[in-house]
């Protein structure tokens, strides 16, 4: 596994927003699983993730069609997605210098298609809604790209709403029970 990977020019701010959301290493939640299951049906792909990229890994808040919860950031395609606010689509990872030697491509995982739409909160790309396929696929149409971007915005809203609910609950608990605050 690689320990060297490119990072966003605003990496410190990106990580700060991700950590502020208090979502890493949390339990599975139906609203996120519903997003990945629906995305899988819409795009007819076997695997969809809501991937969040911290300093060293890509962690999956939801992972439809996969049995893993995280990967090393050095092999994460999403590491490249979080460096911008645009969709990253790789229709042939074997011909892409960034990914052709990646163990997700060359190993048993056999990844042949990746498309990640940025999950943006407070102007920072903290992760991606990712389509994964083990067969070659054509590039998405412009309409499909808009749909995927919309679904990534729904995921971002769900993360932000979850965070705001947590903050409100903690504040309310502190007001109602000052001894527990």
The tens-digit pLDDT sequence of the chain (181 residues) is 344 788 988 999 999 999 999 999 999 999 999 999 999 999 999 999 999 999 999 999 999 999 999 999 999 999 999 999 999 999 999 999 999 999 999 999 999 999 999 999 999 999 999 999 999 999 999 999 999 999 999 999 999 999 999 988 877 776 667 665 5
Per-residue pLDDT, 2: 42
- Cβ count near 154 (within 10 Å): 17
Reading phi first (left if > 0) and then psi (alpha if -120 to 50, else beta), residue 86 is in: beta
- Burial status of residue 4 (CB atoms within 10 A of its CB: 0-12, 13-18, 19 or more): exposed
Q: Please, which residues have CB within 8 angstroms of residue 138's CB and are 6 or more apart in sequence? A: 91
Cα angle: 141, vertex 144, 146; to 5 degrees:
115
Per-residue pLDDT, 4: 75
Per-residue pLDDT, 175: 65
Q: Dig out the tokens for 86 from the structure.
A: 């645009």
The pTM of the full predicted model, rounded to 2 decimals, is 0.91
φ/ψ of 96, rounded to 5, equals -100, 120
Per-residue pLDDT, 1: 39
How many Å apart are CA 143 and CA 40, to the nearest integer?
Answer: 16
């Amino acid at each position: 596994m690689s320990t060297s990977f490119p990072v966003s020019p605003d990496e410190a701010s990106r990580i700060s927003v991700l950590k502020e959301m208090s979502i890493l290493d949390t339990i599975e939640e139906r609203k996120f699983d519903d997003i990945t299951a629906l995305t899988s049906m819409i795009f007819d792909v076997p695997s969809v993730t809501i991937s969040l990229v911290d300093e060293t890994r890509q962690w999956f808040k939801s992972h439809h069609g996969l049995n893993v919860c995280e990967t090393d950031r050095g092999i994460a395609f999403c590491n490249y997605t979080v460096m911008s606010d645009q969709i990253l689509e790789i229709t042939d990872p074997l011909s892409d210098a960034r990914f052709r030697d990646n163990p997700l491509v060359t190993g048993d995982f056999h990844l042949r298609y990746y498309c990640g739409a940025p999950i943006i909160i407070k102007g920072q790309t903290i992760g991606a809604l990712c389509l994964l396929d083990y067969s070659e696929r054509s590039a998405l149409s412009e309409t499909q790209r808009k749909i995927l971007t919309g679904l990534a915005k729904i995921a971002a809203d769900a993360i932000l709403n979850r965070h705001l609910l947590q903050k409100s609950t903690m504040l309310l608990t502190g007001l109602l029970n000052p001894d527990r605050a």
